[in-house]
Chain A
């Protein structure tokens, strides 16, 4: 339990770059480190608040649209900083990822450590392909996640 780790990939498989969180999860599934749980979610906030409850260390990967260049990687230490509510423009509902984090904070239900990787998307229209820059960043995020996880498993977390 102490080192229980969850990676949540958020997105819709039919909305182009919005599926980047799912793409990262797919790569991790090829050889997930032991003790790491992987979950695919649609991004509905109350659902996310529920699934991370059992875990100490939670990572969440989602597409964002904040106006930066496509492929820009945002890394948010949610225990210490507020998640901008206009960050995840493509959240499923008004009660999405950002709202889930802020509500969990208000209710005292944030995981011990929550790191959010937001990957700036380019195309959010209907389709199954991920833009080139966004896919390159997805691969980088996968590498960053594996390092974060390794540090937790060796007792030296990036942030906890």
Chain B
């Protein structure tokens, strides 16, 4: 007698996207696993057409409430490429600094408020706070330090407004950083403890064979600039992204799934960055990695929680380096003249590479816009991981299996992970 059951995980979210996880099991074998995503970037691509190029950063920032800096910076870099300007020196450093702030905010939120409760068997972070209030208070303070960086440079914590094509509207004085610097030094120490906490969490064995794709820069851990590389020999300029990657429309999802042409699916995000850029981490971060047994390739997606924590240490360390060496630049931005052209931007959002392409005319009006968010790039790979993961736990009852799947989906911190709290379990049996 055949026994078919279907597990449907519906989830909705405000800005970052909407999606559902659909799992069909027949006679205790996985028959189908589909991740369905609806993504706002498609709407925004249309919305951007006809707007002035200077509006792109502020509009793109609204695509994601968690990583607006990534959207702002990918669009700004694309526009600057069209205009033929380079933003260097302290302005470039300030851009790295605000990126540190965003990584801290996003990673700390994900590690402690969303992911750690899964590993510890808590329903949510509120239960965790009940049992371990000091740990949660520490996490909230770490995240606030990230908020402060974004507020100081971005003008406000959410939907920052101070970044623009050419640099910033206003740059801080050195003294503006003095209070923040002390807090960041506390936070850097605390984040090292946070790595130990993440590393102590019980983690399932689940090594996978990935093509990792990330930005790579010879001298620095990648935020804003670099070439796109992979562990399988890819090494390209960002303007060639669309020659090597394509988006395929699959019937079950409104989102386009990205694949590496002739290679298949791939993974972007913390694991990819870490494995491809370990040498570019700061000495301190590498030492913390060694102390925790992470001076190695990490191919278990459940260990991404530790890698996010290590990237948080790096972000604090890098922020402190930038602030300690900061000298206020004479000008807050670089001047330019409008010219028509096509430009490309790719930066490392907390959850992976975020690619933008724009075409503008001689008046600076946006003719076309293309945005490929990290979650779309990871979608196919997440499905494959879940297809490998579910059979290991197929004996569990539906509640436990659903819970395991939620935890697995959160490994990738997809924009859609936001609403896995609002699960609707729909089981059909024949």
Contacts of A89 in B (CB 8 A): 12, 419, 422
Contacts of A95 in B (CB 8 A): 109, 113-114, 124-125
Contact A12 B15 (CB under 8 A): yes
Of A46-54, A68-76, A141-149, the one with at least 4 CB within 8 A of chain B? A46-54
Number of residues of chain B lying within 8 A (CB) of chain A:
34
A102→B13 CA distance, assembly (Å): 20
Q: Which of B55-85 contact A (CB under 8 A)?
A: 62, 65-66
Which of the residues A47, A86, A102, A107 comes within 8 Å of B147, measured between beta carbons? A47
Q: Which of B186-216 contact A (CB under 8 A)?
A: none
Q: A50-B144, A107-B136 are in contact. Are A94 and B418 (CB under 8 A)?
A: yes
A11→B65 CA distance, assembly (Å): 10
Report B249 CB to chain A, min CB distance, Å: 19
Q: A93-B109, A94-B419, A95-B114 are in contact. Are A107 and B15 (CB under 8 A)?
A: no
- Scoring B residues 125 to 166 as 1 if CB is less than 8 Å from chain A, else 0, what string do you get? 110011001001100100110010000000001110000000
If over half of A's interface residues share one DSSP class (helix, strand or loop), that class is named, otherwise mixed; here it is: loop
Q: A92-B65, A95-B114, A126-B43 are in contact. Are A44 and B140 (CB under 8 A)?
A: no
Report A6 CB to chain B, min CB distance, Å: 15
A90 interfacial contact with B, CB 8 Å: yes
Report B205 CB to chain A, min CB distance, Å: 26
Contact B126 A92 (CB under 8 A): no
Residue of B nearest to A127 (CB): B43
Contacts of B16 in A (CB 8 A): 92-93
Contact B66 A99 (CB under 8 A): no
A159 interfacial contact with B, CB 8 Å: no
Contacts of A45 in B (CB 8 A): 113
Contacts of B114 in A (CB 8 A): 93-95
* Count of inter-chain pairs, beta carbons less than 8 A: 103
Of A13-21, A29-37, A110-118, the one with at least 4 CB within 8 A of chain B? A13-21
A96→B12 CA distance, assembly (Å): 13
A1 interfacial contact with B, CB 8 Å: no
Contacts of B304 in A (CB 8 A): none
Report A141 CB to chain B, min CB distance, Å: 19
B14 interfacial contact with A, CB 8 Å: yes
Contact A14 B129 (CB under 8 A): no
Q: A12-B14, A85-B421, A93-B109 are in contact. Are A42 and B144 (CB under 8 A)?
A: no
Q: Which of B43, B62, B66, B158 has the most CB of A within 10 A?
A: B158
Q: Which of B383-415 contact A (CB under 8 A)?
A: none
Report A70 CB to chain B, min CB distance, Å: 17
Contacts of A102 in B (CB 8 A): 126
Contacts of B12 in A (CB 8 A): 89-90, 124
A41 interfacial contact with B, CB 8 Å: yes
A78 interfacial contact with B, CB 8 Å: no
Report B131 CB to chain A, min CB distance, Å: 10
Residue of A nearest to B129 (CB): A106
A92→B65 CA distance, assembly (Å): 7
Q: Which of A86, A89, A94, A102 has the most CB of B within 10 A?
A: A94
- Scoring B residues 1 to 23 as 1 if CB is less than 8 Å from chain A, else 0, what string do you get? 00000000000111110000000
A20→B419 CA distance, assembly (Å): 20
A78→B224 CA distance, assembly (Å): 42
A103→B66 CA distance, assembly (Å): 20
Which of the residues B13, B133, B147, B158 comes within 8 Å of A106, measured between beta carbons? B133
Report A43 CB to chain B, min CB distance, Å: 6
Contacts of A91 in B (CB 8 A): 13-14, 418-419
B417 interfacial contact with A, CB 8 Å: yes
Contact A42 B125 (CB under 8 A): no
Contact A94 B417 (CB under 8 A): yes
Contact B124 A94 (CB under 8 A): yes
Which of the residues A13, A44, A124 comes within 8 Å of B109, measured between beta carbons? A44
Contact B124 A99 (CB under 8 A): yes
Q: A12-B65, A126-B40 are in contact. Are A90 and B158 (CB under 8 A)?
A: no
Q: A89-B422, A95-B114, A126-B40 are in contact. Are A18 and B143 (CB under 8 A)?
A: no
Contact A106 B130 (CB under 8 A): yes
A152→B419 CA distance, assembly (Å): 36
Q: Which of B92-142 contact A (CB under 8 A)?
A: 109, 113-114, 124-126, 129-130, 133, 136-137, 140
Please, could you name 8 A-B residue pairs with CB atoms under 8 Å apart, sorted by A? A14-B62, A15-B15, A47-B158, A93-B418, A93-B419, A99-B125, A106-B130, A107-B129
Residue numbers of A with Cβ under 8 A of B are 11-15, 18, 40-47, 49-50, 85-86, 89-95, 99, 102-103, 106-107, 124, 126
Residue numbers of B with Cβ under 8 A of A are 12-16, 40, 43, 62, 65-66, 109, 113-114, 124-126, 129-130, 133, 136-137, 140, 143-144, 147, 157-159, 417-422
For the complex of A and B, 8 pairs with smallest distance between CB atoms: A94-B421, A42-B65, A93-B418, A95-B113, A126-B43, A90-B14, A106-B129, A92-B65
